[in-house]
Structure 1
Amino acid sequence: MSRQLTNMDWMLKDLAESVPQTRNVVVLSADGLRMAQHGADTDRADRLAAACAGLQSLAGAVATELPHSNGRMRLVVIEMDGGFFYLMAAGAGAYLAVLADEGVDAGLMGQRMRDLVARIGEHLSSPPRNEEQPA
């Protein structure tokens, strides 16, 4: 994780603490790599990031079925037994994912996620990988 993303940990913590019932907050790249996290151990955050990559791809494919859509996913919300999952576009090639308990205030969560993306969206952008550059 880059130093720039490590310095954003407090912002992810702020999101988690400002919305009661928030469990995990993860920032990921479009290809499913964890970039930053709060409230989850590394293994859980990595699993969540990998699952999100598939979900954002699926949502983008569904979006292309809408007239006048550019196929870009903006927000996915899934209600499950026990809680909610939120996935929001957070810059070019980056996403913000949140797991929350079922008592979460959905409106407040959406607002706080949008606020966070607006504040740090440019820092969350993940440039496309160039195969010629070493990893």
Structure 2
Amino acid sequence: MTLTSLKGWINTAPVANEGEALRYDNLRDQFAANASDVTAIVLLAEDGLKLCAYGMLEDTADRVAAACSGLQSLGNALSLAVGGGAAHHHNITLDQGHFVLTRCGDGSVLIALVRDGGVISGAIRETVRIARGFAPQMGTVSRVSSEAAQ
């Protein structure tokens, strides 16, 4: 997990069009400029579809997206059980680093992998700040509800 910057890394997720690719690269560049302890990012739809991934191999990003989709769902279930509404943030502390998950628009979750020894408070603050800034552009429509409407 030694990476000095995400800038220049390519998206390992398939992207539908050039506009999306530019938005995702801009998201990556914000992390590279403002969150030096973040070594990888993944953006996913809450249903588990990986939208973009930087700093991880594609198969690793797929596994992370699937697991984090489940974590987001679990967080929402826990919160709703006590009338807390939707879950917004999660921090998973690892032996070597942290995963920070935060909502990034309706139906999307942004995941940041923070390096071992990184300043977790700064990484969380920047991840949440960046996610809020990108939220209007990154929301996704539930595929279940859109398929049902057809």
* Normalised-by-shorter TM-score class: 0.7 to 0.9
| Shift of residue 88, structure 1, vs aligned partner | 0.3
Does residue 20 of structure 2 align to residue 5 of structure 1?
A: yes
Q: 2:147 aligns with which of 119, 131, 134?
A: 131
Counterpart in the other structure of 2:101: 87
Matches within 5 A, 1:1-135: 1-3=15-17, 4-8=19-23, 9-66=25-82, 68-70=83-85, 72-129=86-143, 130-131=146-147
Gaps of 5+ in 1: none
Residues 1:5 and 1:133: Cα distance change in structure 2 (over 3 Å): farther
Q: Which amino acid aligns with 2:119?
A: D
Unaligned stretches of 5+ in structure 2?
1-14
Aligned residues: CA RMSD = 1.9
When the two structures are superposed, what TM-score results if normalisation uses the length of structure 1? Answer: 0.87
Moved over 3 A (4+): none
CA contact (8 A) 2:114 2:120 kept: no
| Higher mean C-alpha displacement, 13-22 vs 3-12 | 13-22
What count of residue pairs does the alignment treat as equivalent?
A: 132
What is the CA–CA distance in structure 2 between the aligned matches of 1:93 and 1:23, rounded to whole Å? Answer: 24
SS in structure 2 of the partner of residue 25 of structure 1: strand
Aligned partners of 2:129, 2:20: CA distance in 1, in Å?
17
Q: How far apart, in 1, do the equivalents of 2:139 and 2:37 lie?
A: 27
How does the TM-score come out when normalised to structure 2?
0.79
* d(CA) in 2 for partners of 1:48, 1:13: 21
Counterpart of 2:142 in 1: which secondary structure?
coil
